[in-house]
């Protein structure tokens, strides 16, 4: 498990790839914003497609990880997928710390920490997807559109 200091250091290491990381706000889910795939945009009434710069950043991270890895490509690929479980565990740890569920540790995290850990899951998943396919953006946008297409329209019963 990484400490918050290690997380900040990793964010700083990703900065040369144009991650544009900024401090998370303490707003809840209703304060979330962002853009989605074109087909999903129509279904959700959201802004236009994910910016290509996002996927350029992911490509840069994958190239960097590939270059620095001493492991065979197949093993590296599997470990990038398994990394998702580690990151999801860090989300759980941050939520437990934010609500103070562990009486021994108290309120060890903030909701900003939860936001940051969720972003780590998203980035890790994007890197894993890009590692598996060079067409990650199309695959992601297609799946996002499929999921968004399940959202009932305004005339559909609740």
Task: Please provide the DSSP assignment of 74-108 as one string.
Answer: HHHHHHHHHHHHHHHHHHHHHHHHHHT--TTT-S-
Q: Helix 52-68 and helix 73-99: axis angle, to 10°?
A: 120
Per residue in 91-123, is it b (16+ CB within 10 Å) or e — as a string? bebbbebbeeeeeeeeebbebebbbbbbbbbeb
Q: Extract the runs of DSSP E, i.e. beta strands, from the chain.
A: none
pLDDT digits (tens, 9 = 90+) for 59-85: 999 999 999 999 999 999 999 999 999
Predicted confidence band of residue 90 (pLDDT cuts 50, 70, 90): very high
Q: Which two tokens stand for residue 151?
A: 């959202």
- Residue linked to tokens 């199309």: 138
Q: What is the pLDDT of residues 118-156, one digit of tens each?
A: 999 999 999 999 999 999 999 999 999 999 999 998 765
DSSP secondary structure letter of residue 30: G
pLDDT higher for 49 or 117?
Answer: 117
Query: Model's pTM, two decimal places?
Result: 0.67
Please list the helix, strand and coil fractions of the chain in percent, rounded to the nearest 5, in that order.
65, 0, 35
66 token code pair: 């590939």
DSSP code at position 101: -
Q: Residue 86: which residues within 8 A CB-CB, separation 6 or more?
A: 1
Structure tokens at 82: 């398994």
Domain ranges across the chain: 72-150
């Amino acid at each position: 498990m990484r400490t918050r200091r290690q997380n900040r250091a990793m964010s700083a290491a990703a900065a040369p790839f144009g991650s544009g990381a900024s401090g998370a706000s303490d707003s809840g889910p209703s304060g979330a914003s962002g853009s989605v795939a074109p087909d999903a945009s129509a279904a959700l009434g959201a802004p236009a497609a994910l910016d290509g710069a996002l996927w350029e950043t992911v490509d840069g991270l994958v190239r960097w990880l590939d270059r620095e890895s001493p492991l065979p490509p197949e093993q590296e690929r599997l470990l990038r997928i398994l990394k998702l479980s580690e990151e999801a565990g860090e989300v759980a740890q941050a939520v437990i710390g934010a609500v103070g569920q562990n009486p021994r540790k108290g309120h060890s995290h903030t909701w900003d920490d939860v936001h940051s850990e969720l972003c780590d899951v998203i980035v890790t998943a994007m890197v894993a997807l890009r590692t598996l396919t060079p067409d990650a953006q199309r695959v992601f946008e297609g799946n996002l559109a499929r999921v968004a297409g399940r959202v009932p329209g305004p005339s559909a019963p609740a």
